[in-house]
Structure 1
Amino acid sequence: MNDEIRRRLREAAEAHEPNRARILARVERGAADPIVRHRTPSIARSWPRAAIVGLIAAATLATGGLAVAVAAIGGAPSPPASSPTPAVPSPTVPSPSVTSAPTPSARSTTTGPAPTTSSGSARPTPPVGSRAEDGPLWSEGSLDVHSTIYWAQNNLTLKTTKPLTSLTVELRIAQTGDVRSTGNWQTLPSDDFTVTVQESGGALLYRWVLKPGRTVPAGQHEFAGQYNHATGVRKVKRDSYRVHAQASGVSVAVWGGFGPTR
């Protein structure tokens, strides 16, 4: 066998690409379609389907034998390139997002001086040597509940069952350190009194004097002295008050101290 024949056989083998699946599909359609069966030669109609499939297989084997022969002569034809199968991406299932609860941050608090509170029903105990009542007059000294470690107020409650034709009220605030007056007040009309504040004998002295011709009516009345002091809890055991008055031509007097806040 010369080179020319071998070359032509190799080219024929390389050019031939049998498609067995396509041939089988055509045979199946021809067996099922009445129109195709009408155009098919009578010999094809008379043969059973199994025989036709056998012929196709024989043809395929013959073609394969031809390829083997060519390979034995001068090399095998290169197989057709297979089509790459497209990769199907797997569906991504989104994972549920979990939001953690925010950790509450520590609350920062600023502590400051808080005023000491007292029981509304409790009364301060009068100091030793005091006289809280005399005739129609009754008195009580106390530290105001709104006092702080910087500022304080001493209160005097005065009750009388008879009108007073004269009245002098004194509050003595001991100088315990940086005691300075910040004001004063009374529940009676301010025009009825002459009010003075001064340093006297190591104390801050508040004085109210009823003006001549004025009268204090029967009832309950309040007098207060306000002041700053050195930082800290101030002791009131050295503070005191004194009251002189006249009722129905009779002189009366009360005095005492200021009880601590309870």
Structure 2
Amino acid sequence: MKDEELAGRLREAAGAHRPDRARMLARIERGMAGDPAAGAVRRPRAARPWLRVAGATVAVCGVLAAGALAVTSAGDDGGARAGRVAAAPASPSSTAKAPAVPGGLRPEDGPLWTGGAVDPHSNPYWAQSNVTLRTTEPLSALTVELRVAETGGVDSTGSWRSLPEPDFTVSVNESGGYLVYRWTLRPGRTVPAGTHTFAGQYNHAEGDRDATGDYVTAHAVRASGAEAAVGDRFGRSR
């Protein structure tokens, strides 16, 4: 068959063909509605490359954020622990109060004040305890007692006072675990206003002596007739 004849027949067939328009529209509508009868079943489409990259980036950021949070939390906790460890608890010796003088006496009462301290010239074998008494008014009666605790080898070697010797009677004895020095103003005598000193001297066992058990008390009668009483503890010294 010649080419010209084949071409003529194809043109005739094409011209005679009449497409089924209704059938074609029905197939298109079924395809758009997702009808399984329309053809092949649709498969899920693979994620696009840029979505996979974005997902991976989010995952990495999440891991880094979790790691940063863990490091930060560990640093805070460690710092808090370090702070607690570094904060030393208060020493009991820094907050403890000295025991009160028997009778609840305080160093000051009205015009009268007293304080006790071990003389700085004391040594590992011998000591002197100084009592300071201050009064802003004359006193018509006064008794001062210095009590030195028997901490070992305590033995009196004398005493003195800054006020006139004839104005006082003096005694030294042992009582209740103490070496007791007592100065008593004689009747008819007066202690003038001012600062006065009473001192007790004694030997003691070799070494530094703990004087925290020592204390002084003073009872007085003012020229007006009113009474006053004071007391003080000694500190640790030689």
1:102-131 deviation digits (Å, cap 9, x = unpaired): xxxxxxxxxxxxxxxxxxxxxxxx934241
Give the whole-Å Cα distance in 1 for the aligned partners of 2:99 and 2:182. 23
Query: Match of 1:203?
Result: 178
Q: Deviations over 1:156-187 (max 9, x none)?
A: 10000000000000000011111000010000
SS in 2 for 1:191: helix
Structure 2 letter corresponding to 1:170: E
Which of 97, 100, 103 does residue 129 from structure 1 map onto?
100
Is 1:257 the equivalent of 2:233?
yes
Match of 1:155 in 2: 130
Root mean square deviation of aligned Cα: 1.4
Q: What does 1:123-202 correspond to in 2, within 5 Å? A: 127-130=98-101, 131-202=106-177
From the CA coordinates, give the structure whose radius of gyration is larger.
Answer: 1
Offset of 1:216 from its aligned partner?
A: 0.0
Contact 2:211-2:237 within 8 A present in 1 as well: no
Tell me what 2:36 maps to.
none
Counterpart AA for 1:245:
A
Aligned counterpart, 1:223? 198
Secondary structure, aligned partner of 2:234: strand
Q: Which amino acid aligns with 2:124?
A: I
What's the CA shift for 1:260? 3.1
1:96-111 matched pairs, under 5 angstroms: none
- Letter in structure 1 aligned against 2:144: V
Shift of 1:256: 1.5
- State the TM-score, normalizing by the size of structure 1: 0.51
Match of 1:214 in 2: 189
Matched positions, count: 137
Cα deviation, 1:203-234, whole Å, max 9, x if unaligned, reads 10000000000000000000000000000100
Q: Distance in 1 between matches of 2:116 and 2:200?
A: 11
Tell me the secondary structure at the aligned position of residue 255 of structure 1.
strand
- Identity rate, percent: 59
d(CA) in 2 for partners of 1:142, 1:127: 14
Structure 2 CA distance, aligned partners of 1:142 and 1:178?
A: 20
Aligned partner of 1:242 among 217, 232, 236 = 217
For 1:176 and 1:182, the matched residues in 2 are separated by 16
C-alpha displacement of 1:261: 4.3
Where does structure 1 lack aligned partners over 5 or more consecutive residues?
Answer: 1-125
- In 1: Cα distance, 2:134 partner to 2:236 partner: 21
Q: Could you give the per-residue CA deviations for residues 9-56 of structure 1, whole angstroms, max 9, x where no partner exists?
A: xxxxxxxxxxxxxxxxxxxxxxxxxxxxxxxxxxxxxxxxxxxxxxxx
Does the Cα contact within 8 Å between 1:127 and 1:256 map onto a contact in 2? no
Q: CA separation of 1:190/1:127 partners in 2, compared to 1, >3 Å: closer, same or farther?
A: farther
Separation (CA, whole Å) in 1 of partners of 2:115 and 2:122: 17
SS of residue paired to 1:145: coil
SS in 1 for 2:166: helix
Instruction: Answer yes or no: is the 8 Å Cα contact 1:180–1:229 preserved in 2.
Output: yes
